């Protein structure tokens, strides 16, 4: 019997071919099974040089003999720096040669010594922004020298990051009362404004013409002033904070989506109530979560809500004063990343909680940040998340570092404000801090004051004549400043070259001219009517209107006011209507002269009353048939016993 061939599932060769050996399997004497596992004699490696040459690579799998390649990062960085230096030196040398050639034509006398390469490199790096030509921000008719000065000033402001787009101005008429709330969505397409006259107006820059009219006006909270408005991060919802205890959420077009529940006023522990029990003072949306928003109230709490479930708050934070009593918040906000919740209280403190932990203890606590008893109207985080700015009711604006909150980094005073809604904000480049002021006696108007964040020096001021500045915001995408004034107007400041869309969209559209309302009569065509009832076809509408004005039946002239004498059936002395005449003369058979003696007028009826008693005498005919009169008292000066004084 020939020996059996061994069938084994071993390793695959270098090219993936499986070779089976033809050697006979030697069985062990101890067991009847063969050998499992690898066998050196069982497999052999076949050459794959022809396949590698045909496919274009050197081998299959890992090559153990090849050394591992090591990378030295420091040497690579030094090599790249050296290449960059060589390229920069070539560019600088070309610039130096060009400057020397141009200067050689104008220089009289010996040429100055050449500059070193290092000084030229530093100067080119410092002035790389000013080399590019820039447009002037002033769009008015001026001389060439003035334009050069303005362009140089704008270039300097751009280099320092303090340029303010306030060259042009547009006014929107909200109402006649102060504009207490402003908000623009993140795309910059719509503006929403609220006032203390309970109205909220929605403005659409793209759909608005040069007439500057809002496309919708709503009154969401009946007879309660609007204190704050905020667009969500997606722009599809608006948070409305009013004087009530219930915040409202409306959609983009102003239709109500949700309303927070009101808490029980008879429960002392605020954590056990489902909502606020006192009027709201502030609120805002979460910067990352479009479903979450924050509100604060005079009941001493800040509550977190979810738009999908407003029947109960999601979280609650209690603000406490230094003696442990309740401290009412005056404003609240989220940090830029949403990890911190900050609120300013009426005791002058600033309290912050970590959103990622339980709201039991504060993470950052600043006591006596502002004067106790004043309303800190605004608190806002910087874009870098390290600093916090607060606008106090003590006419101060302070900048704080949350890493060292013991004392303010900077403080500015003499910023008088009459409103508890005056806010402060950072510029889009985070280099400026601005707020609004109210004017006092002897001043011409309020101002929007811009301060440098590093030095807290006044960089610029925008005057708002004859009005207080209540709200101010700087939209980063539009690059426009929107100011809500105390006279009911909304001021939009922008620059023609550096601002985008917003007010520039609506100014370029012509006003919509509505056709005048004209009186028109419906003409009924009756071809088979008799000639006496047939109407002629009107040739001109104007002639028909003139003919109708002359006809007393078609157009009745209104009655003229009556004078001393009656006219047209109307009696002047008794009123202009028949009913007033009847009421005046009801029950009077003959006119009685009021100038006579009233006693004689009464005694005229004495004989008729004695002959035919009707009113008083029949009532006493049985009980007192004979009248008893009071005795006559001749001493009229004597007082009755009840009024006589007691003798001592």
Q: So what's the pLDDT on residue 35?
A: 54
In a domain, residue 265? The reply is yes
Q: What Rg value do the Cα atoms of the chain yield, rounded?
A: 47
Least confident of 117-121, 160-164, 238-242, 575-579: 117-121
In a domain, residue 382? The reply is yes
Of 455, 458, 345, 460, nearest to 409 by C-alpha is: 455
Q: What is the mean pLDDT of residues 350-356?
A: 94
Q: So what's the pLDDT on residue 112?
A: 47
Token digits for 269? 């522990």
pLDDT digits (tens, 9 = 90+) for 272-291: 999 999 999 999 999 999 99
Backbone φ, ψ for residue 381 (5° rounding)? -90, 145
Mean pLDDT for the chain? 78
Q: How confident is the model at residue 124 (pLDDT cuts 50, 70, 90)?
A: very low
In a domain, residue 407? The reply is yes
| Other CB atoms within 10 Å distance of the CB of residue 275 | 24
User: Which range among 109-118, 142-151, 219-228 has the greatest average pLDDT?
Assistant: 219-228
Check whether 182 has a pLDDT greater than 90: yes
Q: So what's the pLDDT on residue 612?
A: 83
In a domain, residue 189? The reply is yes
60-64 long-range CB contacts below 8 Å, 24 or more apart? 60/14, 60/15, 61/14
Cα 161–Cα 393–Cα 459 angle in degrees, nearest 5: 20
Portion of the chain with pLDDT greater than 70, in percent: 69
Do residues 392 and 378 make contact, with C-beta atoms less than 8 angstroms apart? no
pLDDT digits (tens, 9 = 90+) for 488-518: 999 999 998 899 888 888 887 777 665 554 5
In a domain, residue 254? The reply is yes
* pTM summary value: 0.59
Q: What is the mean pLDDT of residues 402-407?
A: 91
Q: So what's the pLDDT on residue 110?
A: 42
Least confident of 28-32, 131-135, 173-177, 506-510: 131-135
Of 270, 236, 275, 271, nearest to 259 by C-alpha is: 275
Residue-range definition of the domain harbouring residue 337: 181-434
In a domain, residue 557? The reply is no
Instruction: Give the torsion sign (CA, 564, 566, 568, 574).
Output: positive
Q: What is the DSSP secondary structure assignment for residue 7, as one 8-state letter? A: -
Token digits for 238? 């608006």
pLDDT digits (tens, 9 = 90+) for 449-491: 999 999 999 999 999 999 999 999 999 999 999 999 999 999 9
Considering only residues 390 and 139, tell me which one the structure prediction assigns the higher pLDDT: 390
In CATH, what number is assigned to the domain containing residue 271?
2.130.10.10
In a domain, residue 308? The reply is yes
Q: So what's the pLDDT on residue 567?
A: 60
Of 231, 263, 233, nearest to 250 by C-alpha is: 231
Portion of the chain with pLDDT greater than 90, in percent: 45
Rounded distance between C-alpha atoms, residue 190 and residue 503, angstroms: 11
Number of H helices, E strands in the chain: 9, 28
Token digits for 628? 């008893």
| Cβ-based neighbours of 107, under 8 Å, separated by 6 or more | none
Of 146, 170, 166, 145, nearest to 157 by C-alpha is: 166
Counting the structural domains of the chain, the total is 1
pLDDT digits (tens, 9 = 90+) for 614-632: 877 788 878 887 877 777 6
Q: What is the secondary structure of 297-357 as a DSSP string?
A: ETTSEEEEEETTB-SS-SEEEE-B-TTSSB--EEEEEE-TTSSEEEEEETTS-EEEEETTS
In a domain, residue 313? The reply is yes
Q: How confident is the model at residue 123 (pLDDT cuts 50, 70, 90)?
A: very low
Q: So what's the pLDDT on residue 99?
A: 53
Q: So what's the pLDDT on residue 605?
A: 83
Q: So what's the pLDDT on residue 462?
A: 93
Q: So what's the pLDDT on residue 14?
A: 45
Token digits for 287? 């910067």
Q: So what's the pLDDT on residue 131?
A: 33
Q: So what's the pLDDT on residue 102?
A: 54
């Amino acid at each position: 019997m020939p020996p059996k061939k061994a069938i084994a599932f071993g390793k695959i060769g270098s090219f993936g071919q499986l070779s089976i050996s033809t050697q006979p399997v030697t069985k062990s004497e101890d067991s009847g099974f063969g050998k499992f596992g690898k066998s050196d004699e069982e497999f052999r490696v076949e050459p794959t040089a022809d396949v590698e040459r045909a496919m274009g690579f050197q081998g299959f799998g890992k090559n153990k003999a090849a050394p591992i390649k090591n990378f030295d990062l420091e040497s690579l960085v030094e090599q790249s720096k050296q290449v960059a230096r060589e390229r920069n030196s070539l560019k600088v040398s070309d610039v130096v040669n060009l400057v020397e050639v141009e200067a050689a034509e104008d220089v009289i006398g010996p040429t100055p010594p050449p500059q070193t390469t290092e000084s030229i490199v530093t100067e080119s790096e410092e002035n790389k922004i000013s080399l590019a030509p820039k447009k002037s921000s002033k769009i008015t008719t001026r001389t060439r020298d003035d334009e050069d000065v303005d362009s140089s000033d704008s270039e300097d402001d751009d280099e320092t990051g303090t340029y303010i787009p306030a060259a042009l101005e547009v006014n929107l008429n909200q109402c006649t009362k102060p504009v207490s709330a402003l908000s623009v969505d993140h795309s910059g397409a719509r503006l929403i404004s609220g006032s203390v006259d309970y109205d909220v107006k929605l403005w659409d820059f793209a759909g608005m013409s040069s007439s500057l009219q809002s496309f919708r006006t709503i009154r969401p909270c009946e007879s309660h002033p609007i204190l704050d408005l905020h667009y969500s991060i997606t722009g599809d919802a608006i948070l409305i904070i009013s004087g009530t205890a219930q915040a409202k959420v409306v959609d983009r077009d102003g239709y109500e989506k949700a309303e927070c529940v009101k808490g029980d006023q008879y429960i002392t522990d605020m954590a056990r109530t489902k909502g606020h029990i006192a009027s709201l003072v502030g609120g805002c949306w979460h910067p990352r979560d479009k479903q979450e928003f924050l509100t604060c109230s005079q009941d001493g709490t800040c509550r977190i809500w979810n738009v999908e479930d407003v029947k109960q708050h999601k979280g609650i934070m209690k603000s406490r004063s230094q003696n442990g009593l309740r401290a009412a918040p005056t404003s609240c906000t989220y940090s830029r990343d949403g990890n911190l919740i900050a609120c300013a209280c009426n005791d002058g403190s600033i309290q912050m909680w970590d959103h990622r932990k339980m709201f039991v203890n504060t993470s950052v606590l600043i006591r006596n940040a502002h004067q106790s008893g004043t309303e800190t109207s605004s608190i806002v985080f910087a874009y870098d998340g390290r600093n916090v700015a607060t606008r106090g009711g003590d006419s101060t604006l302070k900048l704080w570092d949350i890493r060292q909150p013991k004392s303010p980094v900077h403080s500015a005073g003499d910023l008088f404000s009459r409103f508890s809604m005056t806010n402060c904000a950072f510029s889009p480049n985070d280099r400026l801090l601005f707020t609004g002021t109210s004017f006092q006696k002897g001043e011409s108007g309020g101002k929007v004051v811009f301060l440098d964040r590093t030095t807290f020096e006044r960089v610029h001021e925008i005057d708002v004549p004859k009005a207080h500045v209540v709200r101010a915001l700087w939209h980063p995408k539009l690059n426009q400043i929107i100011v809500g004034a105390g006279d009911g107007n909304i001021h939009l400041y922008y620059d023609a070259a550096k601002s985008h869309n917003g007010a520039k969209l609506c100014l370029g559209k012509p006003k919509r001219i509505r056709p005048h309302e004209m009186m028109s009569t419906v003409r009924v065509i009756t071809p088979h009517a008799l000639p006496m009832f047939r109407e002629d076809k009107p040739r001109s509408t104007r002639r028909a209107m003139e003919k109708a004005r002359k006809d007393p039946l078609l157009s009745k002239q209104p009655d003229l006011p009556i004078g001393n004498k009656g006219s047209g059936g109307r009696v002047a002395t008794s009123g202009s209507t028949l009913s007033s005449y009847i009421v005046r003369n009801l029950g009077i058979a003959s006119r009685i002269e009021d100038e006579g003696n009233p006693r004689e007028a009464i005694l005229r009826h004495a004989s008729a009353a004695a002959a035919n008693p009707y009113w008083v005498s029949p009532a006493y005919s049985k009980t007192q048939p004979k009248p008893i009169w009071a005795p006559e008292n001749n001493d009229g000066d004597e007082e009755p016993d009840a009024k006589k004084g007691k003798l001592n």
